[in-house]
Amino acid sequence: QVQLQESGPGLVKPSQTLSLTCTVSGGSISRGYYYWGWIRQHPGKGLEWIGYIYYSGSTYHNPSLKSRVTISVDTSKNQFSLKLNSVTATDTAVYYCARDTGQYFDHWGQGTLVTVSS
Amino acid sequence: EIVLTQSPGTLSLSPGERATLSCRASQSVSSSNLAWYQQKPGQAPRLLIYGAASRATGIPDRFSGSGSGTDFTLTISRLEPEDFAVYYCQQYGSSPRTFGQGTKLEIK
């Protein structure tokens, strides 16, 4: 059974870079077939797809986040990461990593709350 | 992008009753590329339905999905206590993938 776990700072200052890592267990990112993605949920609100990466390194992200998003993969550690730069209070959210079929998300991490505040 | 509107915002029902949740898209969702998720407080969403009508692994058969085009429905035939949660639809027929705002299913 695939399991995902997010890690990273829970507090980021405005204008700085949010950095999160997702560690995958029970399955290898290098196996291919699946994408590995990030989704966020603003407090008390709905879900927003951020982007995904394939084990080869190819990525795609939601155009609404413009060019602030970088997603990378480290297959040796079975991890993938999210960087979101120039953050503001509107980036405060619970961030989830998930196994992405390219269509829907079939396994999710438990989520981590990131607050943007000085 | 496709906007998904879920209704009602809140649905109050009793265990044993039938729940019908709606998801309407601002434009046609190609090939019934729609999924449903369940989210309980403090937990991540859980995939229930994909392809508008296919149950995900381990999902009880009291959950069923239907619809096509712009109108989709999630039905829970007989509510169990553990079914009270927030439900989201998500389309993947068009990029970017988008979610509805959710329907809260609460105990009456």
From chain A, the residues in CB contact with B45 under 8 A are 47, 96, 105, 108
Where chain A has pLDDT below 50, the residues are none
pLDDT at residue B8, rounded to an integer:
97
| Structure tokens belonging to residue B94 | 């068009």
Task: Look at residue B101 and give its three-state secondary structure.
Answer: coil
- Give per-residue pLDDT as tens, B39-75: 999 999 999 999 999 999 999 999 999 999 999 999 9
The CA-based angle A108-B32-B15, given to 5 degrees, is 60
Helix (H) or strand (E) holding A105: strand A105-108
pLDDT at residue A20, rounded to an integer:
98
Residue B49 Rama label (left phi>0; alpha psi -120 to 50; beta) = beta
Using alpha carbons, select from B45, B6, B47, B29 the residue that is nearest to residue B91: B29
Going through B30-102 in order, the beta strands assigned E by DSSP cover: 34-39, 46-50, 54-55, 63-76, 86-91, 98-99
Work out the mean pLDDT of chain B and round it to a whole number. 96
The strand pair at A112-116 and A11-12 is best described as parallel
pLDDT at residue A52, rounded to an integer:
95
Q: Evaluate if residue B30 carries a pLDDT over 90.
A: no
pLDDT at residue A66, rounded to an integer:
75
pLDDT at residue A38, rounded to an integer:
98
| CB-count burial class (<10 Å; 0-12, 13-18, 19+) for A16 | middle
Distance CA A18, CA B7 (A): 34
Q: Evaluate if residue B104 carries a pLDDT over 90.
A: yes
What amino acid is encoded at A100 in this protein?
Answer: D
pLDDT at residue B32, rounded to an integer:
87
CB contact under 8 A, A108 and B98: no
Work out the mean pLDDT of chain A and round it to a whole number. 95
CB contact under 8 A, A46 and B100: yes
Distance CA A60, CA A64 (A): 12
- Percent of chain B residues topping a pLDDT of 70: 100
Please check whether residue A110 touches B, CB under 8 A. yes
Please check whether residue B97 touches A, CB under 8 A. yes
pLDDT at residue B78, rounded to an integer:
96
pLDDT at residue A71, rounded to an integer:
96
Confidence of residue B31 (pLDDT cuts 50, 70, 90): confident
Which residues have a Cβ under 8 Å from the Cβ of B15 and sit 6 or more positions away?
Answer: B79, B80, B81, B107
CB pairs under 8 A between A and B: 49
Separation of CA A2 from chain center = 16
CB contact under 8 A, A46 and B47: no
pLDDT at residue A32, rounded to an integer:
87
pLDDT at residue A36, rounded to an integer:
97
- Percent of chain B residues topping a pLDDT of 90: 96
pLDDT at residue A94, rounded to an integer:
97
Distance CA B4, CA A56 (A): 32
What is the mean pLDDT of the segment spanning B29-40?
A: 94
Please check whether residue B35 touches A, CB under 8 A. yes
Distance CA B49, CA A95 (A): 22
pLDDT at residue A115, rounded to an integer:
98
Q: Evaluate if residue B7 carries a pLDDT over 80.
A: yes
